[in-house]
Structure 1
Amino acid sequence: LEYAVARLRHQKIHAADCEACETKDGRIDQIERDLEFIGPLDQAQRQRLREIADKCPVHRTLHSEIAIRTTHKD
């Protein structure tokens, strides 16, 4: 692997347009991720890099339930 490129695109889509989503009303966030691996890699190595990308902390956080707590200090 010489280097890797990850491109992300965010958009809001109608929930009804997402067949794999549990939510069917309103709009939901959709993130499209394009991965590019540069270098002389075979298919098994490319697959392993995709698996690693799916295990990164940011990816896992975005796929989990998120609770936001806000505090205010005077």
Structure 2
Amino acid sequence: MEVRTHRGQGPLQQVIEIGPHRLLTDVAPESGGEGSGPEPHDLLAAALAACTTLTVNLYARRKGYALDEVQVSIQHGQEGAAYALHRSIRYLGALSEEEKQRLTDIANKCPVHKTLSGQIQITTEAE
């Protein structure tokens, strides 16, 4: 999968193309943007939240858990030398405490969580 960006209409707005999908990203006016889309770190947090929800839902369905909905909230920002992501998960449905704990264990194994928790290598080439 290739992700591409190009300049949007605002001074810092970027159009992100992911296959056939298009998203906007921007920064707040106090940072020189127009606030026309989420900031890049917000997209990173959104990826973790979405992956968590999908992973938990798939597992619960496969196991026959009475999970009605998963709600994920991510608080994120710089904390000293590290960028911190704090995830809160709310399970709605007739679940035992044991099932909720198992779903939390599974949430910690979602692909984005594993990527962000593992070693990441970024290579850059200028054209």
Query: TM-score if structure 2 supplies the norm length?
Result: 0.46
Give the unaligned 5+ runs of structure 1. Answer: 15-26
**Alpha-carbon distance, 1:51 to partner:** 0.7
AA matched with 2:74: L
Q: Out of 96, 103, 114, which is 1:42 matched to?
A: 96
Deviation by residue 1:30-53 (Cα, 9 ceiling, x = unmatched): 100000000110101101100110
Deviation by residue 1:7-30 (Cα, 9 ceiling, x = unmatched): 11111011xxxxxxxxxxxx2101
Q: Out of 83, 86, 91, which is 1:29 matched to?
A: 83
Identity of aligned residues (%): 33
Secondary structure, counterpart of 1:58 in structure 2 = helix
Secondary structure, counterpart of 2:125 in structure 1 = coil
| Equivalent residue, structure 1, for 2:75 | 9
Aligned residues: 61
**Alpha-carbon distance, 1:72 to partner:** 3.4
CA RMSD of aligned residues (A): 1.0
Query: TM-score if structure 1 supplies the norm length?
Result: 0.76
Secondary structure, counterpart of 2:91 in structure 1 = strand
Pair 1:70 & 2:127 matched: no
Give the unaligned 5+ runs of structure 2. Answer: 1-66
